[in-house]
Structure 1
Amino acid sequence: MRIQADLGKCEGLGMCEAMANDYFEVDEDEELVNVLDDAPPESDRAHVYAAVQACPVQALSLQG
């Protein structure tokens, strides 16, 4: 599973970072998400999935 961010949709709201800050960080200057680790281990996948689903503009997705 890989995390993908659509920066064209991202508004930098930070829901993902609030829920999974080991994987997401919002750049305060650009107001866009940075994916810190795009391949979470199996043990973190449910946590990352919840953070992806929390994005109000659907800028995040999981592939694979």
Structure 2
Amino acid sequence: MSKDQLLDVNEAAERLRSHPETVRRLLRRGELIGLKMPSPNRGGKWKIRESSIELFLNGNQYEA
């Protein structure tokens, strides 16, 4: 069984082929599930599980 790797915003943006700010916006809206890790500055850093990216992609598929 493979572990569900935690990605930072930049890594998630690469996987989604989008801009990091788009990923942050999706996280704030709750459209992409992530974890806000405590940080001594700036209120924390987002971490996103690979499985959350898969769920997001599978939930946003449309047929042409």
The two structures share one fold, judged by TM-score above 0.5: no
Point out the structure with the larger strand share. Answer: 1
- Choose 1 or 2 for highest CA Rg: 2
Normalised to the residue count of structure 2, the TM-score between the two structures is: 0.29
Normalised to the residue count of structure 1, the TM-score between the two structures is: 0.29
Higher relative contact order (CA 8 A, sep 6+): 1
Point out the structure with the larger helix share. Answer: 2
